[in-house]
Amino acid sequence: MTKTRVLIVDDAIFMRNMIKDIFNDDQYEIVGEAANGVEAVEKYKELKPDLITMDIVMPFKSGIEATREILSFDKSALIVMCSALGQESLVMEAIEAGAADFVVKPFKPEDVQRVVQKALSSRAQPK
Amino acid sequence: MDVNKYRALFIEESREHVAEMSRLLVELESSNDRGPLIDEVFRHAHSIKSMAASMGYDPIATLAHRLEDVIGLHRKSGAAFAAPTVDALLRSVDALTQQVQCIADGRQLDGYFELVRTLGALAQVEPPPPPPMPEGEDPFAGLAVVMVRLVAECPAPPLRMFLVHRRLSELGPIAKMAPSLDDVKAGRLKGRELRVAFGSAQQEADVRRVLAQVPDIESVTFEEGGRRAVAVFDEAKPVAETPERLASLATVRVRTDLLDDIMDSIGELFIVRERLRMLLGLDARSPVLSAMDDLGTRIHHLHDQVIAARMMPMRTLTDRYPRLVRDLCRSLGKEVELEIRGRDIEIDRAILDNLDAPFIHLLRNAVDHGIESTAERHACGKSPVGKVTISATRERDHVLVMIEDDGAGIDPVQLRRTAVERGVLTDAQAQALNVRETLYLICLPGFSTKAEVSDISGRGVGMDVVSARIESVGGSLGIESEVGKGTRFIFRLPLTLAIIPVLLVRAAGRVLALPVAKVVTLREANDEILTQADGGRFLSFRQGLHPVLSLAELLGLPKPPAPETFVAVVEAGLELFALGVDAVVGYHEVVLKPLGDPLENLECYAGVTILGDGQPILILDLSKIVRLRTAA
């Protein structure tokens, strides 16, 4: 079984570590990390992951802008937004920009797994 | 998931965020270019909120959220931050610090409800309006409706519904939706059911396929305006998982005590090499010797690499100072502008650790005693706002840090008077001191002209502790002042601790070490360079005539019968002194080890080292020794 290649984007090392732990699994391979929107776009181009977990509020470039940019050159990119409570409108903006799905902090590993599985299944199906 | 293993990281990162917020808020108060600063503060508050929420520390998350709200409001309006608002924000930052400390101590969290309310008022947070209750007719009459029910534990139902709407609208236009899209966007939901009517006919299979990709859906039911056909499908349960594979990072966090341990090991390596070298003898042709040299080079390199890892920028210390000065100003009713230059200059962390208390003491002194009140300054024709500058510059092999103020300066006349009054000096001795030497009087223990036991400055941290700290790291302190103009403290600091080159000299039969960094020159003491006068010998050096001081005598050792054969010109403070020694034994690179208790109470020694032959050698603290002579 090929592993799902994941890119983790969040400006807090703490959050990245937490998310990495959630993807501790035979199904996933964490291929990279980014700490801001600019790095996220660069790493995406470099690594072409199957999935990105994208924080929203980040320095230099927000998660929403990075999402827009990535989708502009790769419409099939699967981006799951990671947001905190109180940011509903930003997540909606991200969804309108084309994000596949979202998780809200505090998130349990099962939540993330579920969302990610669903998002990946949408890839497998013809659109 | 065990959140406890993240506790340490949470504490560390939160502390960093809090420190930055503190600094930024002070800057925001006086800055005109607020935009980027506000964004940064917002991000820090946001990070704390996210982490705290993930860890389940709700009181912290709530406080951080309120902070976000207040800052977010200003972000939108672009308005300046009024002082009371900044005060409230800074109090919140302090509260967050306390809360993080509670986490570290394992104590219960304080909710700081009063503060949360205050912030809420500042953020003009209104409770969301109650959702309108539509009565009566079914708006979906006659339409084919998809009813999506979300699971009870769905986090953020409005978002989930928004996503459902989006996915469904990818199939075709949506004619009607309840709750409406506006209600969903605003979070005005009544329960967890979403009804969607398409504008054009859709295949049930297509709708199911699309919705199968959306998590948190309990059921999808197809209705026809009034009638219900039930079709339910289950959520797939998530798969349990197994270990691991982490991608590598560009940086790692290393505990500083680990670096200290590595440093100690390198020091020991060095000593072992010295021992080997001594055991092997001095046959320069031996290939073993050249291998030993190689080893020495490698150890040096290793040492330099760990030093580089231990180097930290000055701003590790100075970033907290604007807040400190601001608070001091508020409580003392003074106006002081703090300028910090050279924030990025790097210095060994071990040295930096010893600078904080001295710097804070000097800053407090500057604001409390140095800078005059606004009225006094006005009377002197000075600008009403006092200026304190901390500047760090890098020289070839040391760092120069200056703390200066444009305040009242230190009055040497007053100092001499106080010294005599306190019995520290006799009148004659006091009069014999030049201005430079007089200023150094403030470094004598218990010496101050004002009652320094006020809450602001003092508390037993006097200038004597400041100068002791500086010298313990191999640095030196210079003091310059002019009455009415201001005062300047100059710190000359080595870049690193640990391995230093020393000159071994003999005085009164003992071998002692002089740090080479402080030795300006070494001369054979003969009649060509020395002149006799007044029963003593003088060395002419760099347009100055320096009395040759006997090192043995300075240390209280019995003076040798024959005159000393070598003179070392050394730097102590900002002055040059000529020291007479009996012999020069050699040049060595040694590992400086601090003297522990009780030996560290011996005033003249900066530390001790062990030579390759196991002999312990005391390393001299030249500034101390020379000041002994001044006070004698």
Model confidence over A59-87: pLDDT tens digits?
889 899 999 999 999 989 999 999 887 78
Question: Looking at beta carbons, which residues of chain A come within 8 Å of B42?
Answer: 57
pLDDT surpasses 60 at A125:
no
Residue-level pLDDT at B228 = 39
Residue-level pLDDT at B15 = 92
Answer whether B455's CB lies under 8 Å from B474's CB: no
State yes or no: ipTM above 0.95.
Answer: no
Q: Which residue has the tokens 């080997």?
A: B276
Longest dimension (CA), chain A: 38
Mean per-residue pLDDT for A36-59?
A: 93
What is the mean pLDDT of each successive set of 10 residues along chain B, which is 632 residues long? 74 91 87 83 91 87 90 79 84 92 84 81 60 53 80 86 91 85 86 85 82 88 54 29 32 76 82 77 70 84 83 87 88 88 86 85 88 87 90 85 92 85 81 83 67 44 75 80 92 77 88 86 81 80 82 83 85 79 84 75 81 82 73 48
Classify B50 as helix, strand or coil: helix
Beta-carbon separation of B1 and A22 below 8 A: yes
Classify B511 as helix, strand or coil: strand
Beta-carbon separation of B213 and A89 below 8 A: no
What is the interface size between A and B, counted as CB pairs within 8 Å? 123
Beta-carbon separation of A106 and B214 below 8 A: no
Who among A18, A33, A95 is closest to B163 (CB)?
Answer: A95
Beta-carbon separation of B156 and A20 below 8 A: no
Measured between CA atoms, how close is A63 to chain B, in angstroms? 13
Whole-angstrom Cα Rg for chain B? 35
Closest CA in chain B for residue A12? B47
> How far is Cα A7 from Cα B254, in angstroms, rounded to an integer?
24
Beta-carbon separation of A86 and B155 below 8 A: no
Q: Hey, which bits of B395-518 come out as E strands?
A: 398-405, 476-482, 486-494, 499-507, 510-515
Measured between CA atoms, how close is A96 to chain B, in angstroms? 8
Q: What backbone phi and psi angles, to 5 degrees, belong to B34?
A: -80, -30
Measured between CA atoms, how close is A106 to chain B, in angstroms? 4
b/e map of B177-187 (b: 16 or more CB within 10 Å)?
bbbeeebbbbb
- The total of other beta-carbon atoms located within 10 Å of residue B241's CB is 15
Question: Looking at beta carbons, which residues of chain B come within 8 Å of A117?
Answer: 215, 236, 238-239
Measured between CA atoms, how close is B54 to chain A, in angstroms? 4
Classify A115 as helix, strand or coil: helix
Beta-carbon separation of A84 and B55 below 8 A: no
Angle B217-B219-B225 from CA coordinates, rounded to 5°: 120
Classify B497 as helix, strand or coil: coil
- The total of other beta-carbon atoms located within 10 Å of residue B152's CB is 9
Q: Which H helix or E strand runs over B294?
A: helix B287-310
Task: Give rounded-to-5 percent helix, strand, coil for chain A.
Answer: 45, 20, 35
Measured between CA atoms, how close is B157 to chain A, in angstroms? 10
| Structure token digits, residue B550 | 């006997």
Query: For chain A, how far is it from start to end, CA to CA, in angstroms?
Result: 23
User: Would you place residue A33 in the very low, low, confident or very high pLDDT band (cuts 50, 70, 90)?
Assistant: very high
Question: Looking at beta carbons, which residues of chain B come within 8 Å of A107?
Answer: 54, 155
CB-based contact, A95 to chain B, within 8 Å: yes
Beta-carbon separation of A119 and B246 below 8 A: no
Residue-level pLDDT at B138 = 62
Looking at the DSSP bridge assignments, the partners of residue B178 are B195
Beta-carbon separation of A91 and B40 below 8 A: no
Question: Looking at beta carbons, which residues of chain A come within 8 Å of B242?
Answer: 24-26
Residue-level pLDDT at B139 = 64
Contacts 24+ apart (CB under 8 A), B556-559: B557/B507, B557/B508, B557/B510, B558/B508, B559/B508
Who among B10, B156, B209 is closest to A14 (CB)?
Answer: B10
Question: Looking at beta carbons, which residues of chain A come within 8 Å of B4?
Answer: none
Answer whether A7's CB lies under 8 Å from A43's CB: yes
Residue-level pLDDT at A74 = 92
Question: Looking at beta carbons, which residues of chain B come within 8 Å of A58?
Answer: 43
| Sign of the torsion angle spanned by Cα atoms B359, B365, B366, B368 | positive
> How far is Cα A102 from Cα A100, in angstroms, rounded to an integer?
7
Please give the full DSSP string across B172-206, using - where no structure is assigned.
S-EEEEES-HHHHHHT--SSSEEEEEESS---HHH
Who among A13, A88, A122 is closest to B158 (CB)?
Answer: A88
Residue-level pLDDT at B44 = 93
